Structures are given as C-alpha cells and as structure tokens.
Amino acid sequence: MSHRKPGRLFFANPGPTNIPDSILRAMDHATVDFMGGDFLEVYDDAVAGLKRILFTEGEVFLYTASGHGAWEATIQNLFSPGDHILMPDAGYFSRTWGTMARQYGLEVEMPGTDWRRGPDVARIAERLASDKFHNIKAVCIVHNETSTGVALSMPEVRAAIDATNHPALLLADTISSFGSFEVRMADWGIDAVVGGSQKGLMLPAGLAFTAVSTKALEAHQHAKLSRYYFDWTKMLARRHRSFVGTVPVGPFYGLRESIRLIEAEGIEQVWHRHHRLAEATRRAVSIWSGNQGVSFFCTDPKRRSDSVTAVKMPDGHDAEAVRKIAYDRFNVSLGAGLEPLGGQLFRIGHMGDLNEPMLLGTLGVVEMSLRLARVPLARGGVDAAIDYLATA
Ligand SMILES: *Cc1c(COP(=O)(O)O)cnc(C)c1O
C-alpha cells in the first residue's frame, strides 16, 4: 500500500508557519565571512527592517535560538536574583515563561486567570496600586497566548500601569502576534519585546530577539543574574551588536527577504489580511458551534486572536482524533491542544504566508474531519467563510 500523500501539505499550525519560496531561495546561500562587507550590508538591512516593522528605534538583540532562548536572555539581562515580577498565568506560554523565571531565582507572582478570557487588566492595575514600595520590577505579558487563541490589548495594559504611576518595566512576548497583527513598540511604551522567526516572519525556527527601550537598557546595567552567551553588554561591544560567537548568516538572508515581502505588501495590509482570514475562520467556527458542536475556546469575542483560533471540542470528544484524520487522510496539519489542554481543543493557525484558498482548504478539511470523527456540528461553516471573504 502506498503511503504517498499527493499534493501539498497544508500546514495550518500556529507556528512554525509556511515559508515562502523566495525566502527558501534567499537562505540557500554559501558560507560567507560574517565580518565581510557583503554580509554586513545584508545584516544591517535586515536589522533596520526589523526595527521598522517593530516600530522602534531602540536596540534589538538577536539570538541563535527559538523563542525560549529569547525568553531566557530577556530574564538574564534585566533582573537580579530575588527580583519580583508579575506574570499573569493565562496559558501554556505565560506559565512556561514564568516557570523559567522562577528557575532563575526570581520571585514570580503568577496570578491565575480564566484561560478562556485571559488576564483582567483591572486586576493588574489594582495589584500595582497596592505595591506601595515598588517591589514589582516588571509586568510580563504574553500579547497573543498561542495556546488559547486569546489576544490582549497592550495599550490597555500600558494604560493600567501608567494610571498607577508604577515604574515597573513592561515586557511583552509578541512571538505569535508580531508580523501578523499590530505591534507598535515605541507608541505602546513596551520596554522589551520578545519575538521569534518562525511565526509572522515566515522563517524557519532558530532566530529570536529582544527589542529594548532605553529604560530597559538602563535596568540591564543593574541586573545581576549570571549570563555569558546572551549578555547584552558583551553583544553591544561587537560589530553586529548581537551574537557573542559566530553570526549565523543564513537566517539574515532569510530575514532580509521576509522584511522585503512584508514591506512590499505593506505592514498594515499584512495586519488587515490576517484580520480578514481570522474573521473568515471565526465565521466558520460560529456556524459549526450549532447543534452543540465545537466552540470558541476564547469566550471574549473582542479578544479572539487574528493569528490563531483555538477550537474547543464538545464534551466527550477528542481533538486528537480530528487532527489525526485531517493529517492522515487529507495532509492538513492542525495545532494540538498544549498542556493541560491536550485533547480538549485543536488550533487553526492563520498566520504568516497565507491566502484565501489555503485557508478555505484548511476550513474545508476541518469540516470534513469533524464529520468523519462524528463530532456534533452544524454544517455550512465553510460557506459562511466564503460569504464573508467574497463580500468583505
Ligand atoms: C511559539 C511561542 C513561543 C515559543 O517559541 P519557541 O520558538 O517554540 O521556543 C513563546 N511564546 C509564544 C506566545 C509562542 O507562540
């Protein structure tokens, strides 16, 4: 029996994402001297472009790592042992980042939240207002909780901090929002933006970064956690202002091409496209939720993410069975529920290099797979997505 799966794999995970052909071509490059003039031009172009689409003129430290490495570097460079930080526990990613910070000896306050809604911003403000001696050094927020499909408003969080006149730094994990929907680092007063390559930037995993404000660089001067390879001070002394060792050249040929693609489309148009495709996905899920079918994991319509939709199974049905049918029979890869939500939901990634036919293909296969797995639903979700896309 043949196991060949004809046609293309439709990769609909919420990261990593599809890599455009022109990025694959750009990265297919022989070794060059990373201190040589030709490469420096590519490097400087790529970094300048990254700053443009982050809307910052501050320093950006880049790492040969996935997102976890950027989390780790950010903690090491900003804090001292025993520092107190506030990290609402709103899903797999905020919980993991908080757990990592604890491992570094920080005192991490992780107030529980309703994972289906995300943090209550008023409670963050109350907590800061009660911190009379300004012990809290930072508020850490996952902008888009990829595990739950809940996206927060960073300006709301900024306003809550400002309303209390609290000097805490504001850190944002934008790994699954940056490059897909609006992130404006300077305007929004974010002190450290953590990002990665394999989601909105449409690159392979392996390049991650922290963009920092002047205030964060100042905090770095007093931060005493041990560090070496990820030390921002060491990085600043190097020509590339990043990378204590060899600079990986391939990712920068890719990053420069990624920025070129984003700017050729227009960053605001990229955000608009993500919103449109996300809205089409939401139209489909809304229909499927009839007959006590699948539903939105995120219960707050205003917080439903423009880069990922988490689809909750009706009680007694296993999301893994649906994912398996989609993958084995139709060559469509959907995102799984992450701990402790395994089996309870699947996630449709609509981020990165994506257009209407790719999304409709995925939605069609989701509808077929739900039916084949005998999950209750109301039919017609794909029609609703088509109606929306044809008229919006
Ligand atoms: C993907 C992701 C990460 C983790 O990144 P890795 O590249 O897998 O290390 C962190 N935070 C968020 C919000 C993510 O979506």
**pLDDT tens string 320-362:** 999 999 999 999 999 999 999 999 999 999 999 999 999 999 9
pLDDT over 90 at 4, yes or no: no
Is the C-beta atom of 15 inside 6 A of ligand 1? yes
What average pLDDT does this structure show over 74-91? 98
Cα 196 to ligand 1 centroid, rounded to whole Å: 7
Is the C-beta atom of 176 inside 6 A of ligand 1? yes
Is the C-beta atom of 174 inside 6 A of ligand 1? no
User: Taking Cα atoms as reference points, which of 367, 347, 350 lies closest to residue 359?
Assistant: 350
What average pLDDT does this structure show over 238-265? 97
Q: Whose CA is nearest to atom 5 of ligand 1?
A: 67
Cα 244 to ligand 1 centroid, rounded to whole Å: 23
Distance CA 52, CA 49 (A): 5
| CA distance from start to end of the chain | 45
Is the C-beta atom of 200 inside 6 A of ligand 1? no
- Distance from the Cα of residue 233 to its chain's centroid: 26
Is the C-beta atom of 74 inside 6 A of ligand 1? no
State the closest ligand 1 atom to the C-alpha of 196, by its place in the atom list counted from 1: 7
Q: What integer pLDDT is reported at residue 392 of this predicted model?
A: 84
Cα 199 to ligand 1 centroid, rounded to whole Å: 9
pLDDT over 90 at 3, yes or no: no
What average pLDDT does this structure show over 232-255? 97
β-strand pairing of 107-109 with 84-86: parallel
Domains along the chain with CATH numbers: 10-16+267-391 (3.90.1150.10), 31-263 (3.40.640.10)
Q: What integer pLDDT is reported at residue 1 of this predicted model?
A: 52
281-316, pLDDT tens digit by residue? 999 999 999 999 999 999 999 999 999 999 999 999
42-77, pLDDT tens digit by residue? 999 999 999 999 999 999 999 999 999 999 999 999
Is the C-beta atom of 253 inside 6 A of ligand 1? no
pLDDT over 70 at 237, yes or no: yes
Distance CA 337, CA 148 (A): 8
118-157, pLDDT tens digit by residue? 999 999 999 999 999 999 999 999 999 999 999 999 999 9
Is the C-beta atom of 175 inside 6 A of ligand 1? yes
What average pLDDT does this structure show over 29-50? 97
* Tokens, residue 309: 């939709």
Asked if residues 78 and 192 have their Cβ atoms less than 8 Å apart, the reply is: yes
Share of residues in the chain with pLDDT > 70 (%): 99
State the closest ligand 1 atom to the C-alpha of 66, by its place in the atom list counted from 1: 7
Bond preceding residue 119 cis, omega within 30 of 0: no
β-strand pairing of 169-173 with 136-142: parallel
pLDDT over 80 at 165, yes or no: yes
Is the C-beta atom of 215 inside 6 A of ligand 1? no
Cα 192 to ligand 1 centroid, rounded to whole Å: 16
Is the C-beta atom of 205 inside 6 A of ligand 1? yes
What average pLDDT does this structure show over 96-107? 98
The model carries a pTM of 0.97
β-strand pairing of 192-196 with 169-173: parallel
Cα 175 to ligand 1 centroid, rounded to whole Å: 6
pLDDT over 70 at 2, yes or no: no
Q: Whose CA is nearest to atom 8 of ligand 1?
A: 67
Q: What integer pLDDT is reported at residue 340 of this predicted model?
A: 97
Cα 178 to ligand 1 centroid, rounded to whole Å: 12
What average pLDDT does this structure show over 231-254? 97
| Residue 130, C-beta contacts closer than 8 angstroms, at least 6 positions apart | none
E strand map for the chain: 10-12, 59-64, 84-86, 107-109, 136-142, 144-145, 150-151, 169-173, 192-196, 207-212, 295-296, 308-312, 332-336, 345-349
